[in-house]
Amino acid sequence: MLKWTLKMTNILRVESSIKPAGAVSRRLTDRIMDRVLAANPGATVVTRDLSAGVAAIDGAWLGAMFTPADARNDDQKATAAYADALLAEVKAADLLVIALPVYNFGVPSQLKSWIDQLARKGETFNYTETGPVGLLTGKRAIVAYTSDGTKIGSEIDFASGYVRHMLGFFGITDVQFAAADAMAFGPEAAIAKGESEVDALAA
């Protein structure tokens, strides 16, 4: 159980809703941040808002990643610099607060692209004789999960398990969820549930 009083010096807040305002996932991340900062008033917060989109990985991205830094052309340097900036934010963070609105039973495309940008052998994971090993250990993550018709953990929820798996693949195994799920069947109750789950994290 996460204790808000644990020292968290650097916090990365990742927003991924496509809504410019009024997203319930942002409402939950606001509530999480209020509690984290109340217990850690000197913490540094970096916000990465993915709503404008994230560059998708492609062949050019692979070329940039596998080209030695001193041999990259200008386009490859720009591609690598963008990926490095995203990675540096995660590496510096003690706590990640991630908004996960569910779209079509899965993660938002921009959140998937963010994860793809981070998935770099030798940086966030390595393969060993005994299997993959995550390199971003010692971090925590809280995920604000919201959905219209999907219950978290149900057979049609392809979002929460994916995010938990990828964070664990990177070495972040202390992952907790607060969910305002299945809002289509009662938004007020679902939001109240999500907010109570945020509050329960501090119990």
Q: What is the mean pLDDT of residues 92-110?
A: 97
Angle (nearest 5°) at CA 203 between 177 and 168? 30
Q: Which residues are annotated as a binding site for FMN?
A: 17
Backbone angles phi, psi at 146, to 5 degrees: -135, 145
Chain segment 177-190, per-residue pLDDT in tens: 999 999 999 999 99
How would CATH label the architecture of 10-57+84-200? 3-Layer(aba) Sandwich (3.40)
Question: What percent of the chain is predicted at pLDDT more than 90?
Answer: 89
pLDDT at 202 over 70: no
Q: What is the mean pLDDT of residues 195-202?
A: 90
Tokens for 97?
């607060």
Domain boundaries, the chain: 10-57+84-200
Q: Which residues are annotated as a binding site?
A: 17
Tokens for 193?
């549930």
What is the crossing angle of helices 74-92 and 59-66, to 10°? 80
Q: What is the mean pLDDT of residues 142-161?
A: 98
Tokens for 195?
């907010």
Distance CA 37, CA 60 (A): 40
